[in-house]
Amino acid sequence: MIPMSNLEIFHKLLKNYYSKKSKDCITSGEMSIIDNNCEYLGVPKILLMENAGKSVAEEVSRYLKENCKNRIYVFCGLGNNGGDGFVAVRHLTDYCSFEDTLTVVLLGKEEFIKTYEAGENFKILKNISQLDFRLTIKEAPYVEGVLEVIDEIENNREDNVIIIDALLGTGIRGDLREPFKTLVDNLNRLRYKENIKIISVDVETKGLRGNLVVTFHRNKMENDISKTVVKKIGIPTIAHYIVGWGDMYALSKRDPNSHKGENGKVLIVGGSKRYFGAPILSALASSKIVDLTTVVSVKHTIEALRDYPHLISYEVEGDYLSRDCVDEVMKLSKDYHVVILGSGLGINEDTKEFVNEYLNEIGDKKVVIDADAIKVIDYRDFEFKENFIFTPHRREFEYMGINIEDPTSLEDVKSTILLKGRYDIIFNNERIKINKTGNVGMTVGGTGDVLCGIVGAFFSKNDGFISACCGAYINGYAGDMLLSEKGYYYTPMDLIECIPKVLSMFR
């Protein structure tokens, strides 16, 4: 057993392997997870907005011209991109002279401003505009209002005009709605005028082509780096590596028009004469989340399943799963999104042959590999494929032949590994995260089977990495809720009953 705690392993892996992989350019989805997990760490979004808006104002101030009138137009959406714009305006009043003007154009009505952070900053602007004659605030929920401002800009050929695009950022969905579309079309026409500069906040609103983008924390995939400046706004590095509610919000959502079976079908392959209960715990956990959960096992488990009529069962011959039933189980697996393999399998020649033959033939089917299955795999020529999630505790991890002291040993590990412990570490050859939910009450037998069921259920509709992250987070979160209610004396069944309550917090 490696004499290090999971936290020490995490630090060693971060330093030796993942530090070279930190990306300079991320997707808006990744940024949203980081943003939310930053809040999970205690950094309020309004503070990030303040830092963002301040950095926009600093960049815009470089375009202010002495001895001429600067006219700044800030077009704001109803989300936090607009909120950044409101903050930028406040800071700009302190950069501008009393000859300059600032016009805030809200593309909607104040009452429809989406977030607390943006709303608070809009209120501050209203307070300022009552006394600062340079600042005008207009609401333009319709095309006519937008065109009036465009005319004003177009008819001004002398002044230095700076247009700030705080319309839409990473929250944009689909094609531009009106009056955003009319505004963007007109701005693209105006941008060729000598006396006009267009500066976008975080990302250019869809279709807009301006002169500069001021983005935050890391550059976004959609930005042209040649005209983008990246500004730090106080997001700590660990926000990239902690599992938090940001990951939960990024899980795929149930489609309201979906039909039975489309929200996940999970097959649990496990159990034996000796350990008939383990697969039932995985199945009960999975059945709280997906549409259909089936258990394939020997008669000992099948008999115990009779108490759970909502769980479908399929019996195979013998006391242990063996090579003889590989074809039968393989055929059944085809009808399921995810297979959870290992709970209670037992360790002998039969299960060893079954597991290795099954995994050799399973192709690209998503499989969560747990417990005894981890121990019986022949790792000599084993391919750690992207469609596998491993959920070892420390002793099981030792069987996998991955030496965390040797960075090269991770290079071919496309599978996601969820290394359980006081801190769970989720990693593969690309990414690593650490989960801190959970407590020592979870050392009770069976919590690993529950975890597998949750991970497998998420895996039916998400990729392996986020499924493992969120499974660890939810399982631990349920344990923390139970700790406050029952102390350390809760059971895996208590955990299972907690799942719906915890999940409903992240709908």
Ligand X SMILES: NC(=O)C1=CN([C@@H]2O[C@H](COP(=O)(O)OP(=O)(O)OC[C@H]3O[C@@H](n4cnc5c(N)ncnc54)[C@H](O)[C@@H]3O)[C@@H](O)[C@H]2O)[C@H](O)CC1
Q: Provide the annotated binding site for (6S)-NADPHX.
A: 278, 344, 393, 449
Distance set, CA 321 to CA 324, 341, 345 (Å): 8, 11, 7
Q: Is the dihedral of CA 118, 124, 130, 134 positive or negative?
A: negative
386 is a site residue for K ion (CB under 5 A): no
Count the site residues for K ion by CB under 5 A. 5
Pairing state of beta strands 101-106 and 135-139? parallel
For residue 455, the one-letter residue type is: V
Chain centroid to Cα 108, Å, comes to: 29
d(CA 214, CA 372): 52
Of 174 and 309, the one with the shorter C-beta distance to ligand X is 174
Asked if 440 contacts 476 with a C-beta cutoff of 8 angstroms, the reply is: no
Could you list the residues known to form a binding site for AMP, using ranges: 448
Of 52 and 457, the one with the shorter C-beta distance to ligand X is 52
d(CA 194, CA 17): 49
Which residues have CB under 8 Å from 335's CB, separation 6+?
265, 267
Of 172-180, 406-414, 451-459, 478-486, the window that binds ligand X (rule: CB under 6 A) is 172-180
For the chain, how far is it from start to end, CA to CA, in angstroms? 39
Question: Which ranges constitute the DSSP H helices of 94-221?
Answer: 116-131, 143-154, 180-190
Of 111 and 175, the one with the shorter C-beta distance to ligand X is 175
d(CA 91, CA 87): 7
Could you list the residues known to form a binding site, using ranges: 278, 344, 393, 448-449
Query: Cβ–Cβ contacts within 10 Å for residue 263, how many?
Result: 19
78 binds, among K ion, ligand X, none (CB under 5 to 8 A by kind): ligand X
Of 89-97, 166-174, 290-298, 394-402, the window that binds ligand X (rule: CB under 6 A) is 166-174
Query: Cβ–Cβ contacts within 10 Å for residue 51, how many?
Result: 20
Q: Which of 455, 499, 464, 447 is nearest to 478 (CA)?
A: 499
169 is a site residue for ligand X (CB under 6 A): yes
Tell me how far, at minimum, the Cβ of 94 lies from K ion, in Å. Answer: 23
Of 94-102, 173-181, 270-278, 303-311, the window that binds ligand X (rule: CB under 6 A) is 173-181
| 423: three-class secondary structure by DSSP | coil
462 is a site residue for K ion (CB under 5 A): no
55 is a site residue for ligand X (CB under 6 A): no
Q: Tokens 């349920």 — which residue?
A: 478
247 binds, among ligand X, K ion, none (CB under 5 to 8 A by kind): none
Residues in the chain: 507
Among 200, 282, 286, 437, binds K ion (CB under 5 A): 200
Among 42, 174, 309, 487, binds ligand X (CB under 6 A): 174
42 is a site residue for ligand X (CB under 6 A): no
Asked if 221 contacts 28 with a C-beta cutoff of 8 angstroms, the reply is: yes
Tell me how far, at minimum, the Cβ of 173 lies from ligand X, in Å. Answer: 4
Q: Which of residues 208-247 bind ligand X (CB under 6 A)?
A: 216-217, 233, 235
Among 37, 81, 322, 447, binds ligand X (CB under 6 A): 81
Of 176 and 269, the one with the shorter C-beta distance to ligand X is 176
| 23: three-class secondary structure by DSSP | coil
Chain centroid to Cα 400, Å, comes to: 27
Q: Which of residues 94-153 bind ligand X (CB under 6 A)?
A: 114-115
201 is a site residue for K ion (CB under 5 A): yes
165 is a site residue for K ion (CB under 5 A): yes
Residue 121 is encoded by which pair of tokens? 């900053």
Count the site residues for ligand X by CB under 6 A. 32
Say which DSSP state 103 is in. Answer: E
428 is a site residue for K ion (CB under 5 A): no
Among 168, 187, 278, 371, binds ligand X (CB under 6 A): 168
205 binds, among ligand X, K ion, none (CB under 5 to 8 A by kind): K ion
Of 197-205, 262-270, 307-315, 444-452, the window that binds K ion (rule: CB under 5 A) is 197-205
Tell me how far, at minimum, the Cβ of 212 lies from K ion, in Å. Answer: 12
d(CA 114, CA 77): 9
Of 75-83, 250-258, 280-288, 385-393, the window that binds ligand X (rule: CB under 6 A) is 75-83
202 is a site residue for ligand X (CB under 6 A): yes
Q: Which of 296, 118, 310 is nearest to 201 (CA)?
A: 118
d(CA 474, CA 471): 5
Question: Which ranges constitute the DSSP H helices of 94-142?
Answer: 116-131
Tell me how far, at minimum, the Cβ of 153 lies from ligand X, in Å. Answer: 21
Tell me how far, at minimum, the Cβ of 222 lies from K ion, in Å. Answer: 10
52 binds, among ligand X, K ion, none (CB under 5 to 8 A by kind): ligand X
Pairing state of beta strands 70-76 and 101-106? parallel
Where do contacts with K ion occur on this chain (CB under 5 A)? 81, 165, 200-201, 205
Q: Contact residues for ligand X (CB under 6 A)?
A: 31, 35, 48-49, 52, 77-84, 114-115, 168-177, 180, 201-202, 216-217, 233, 235
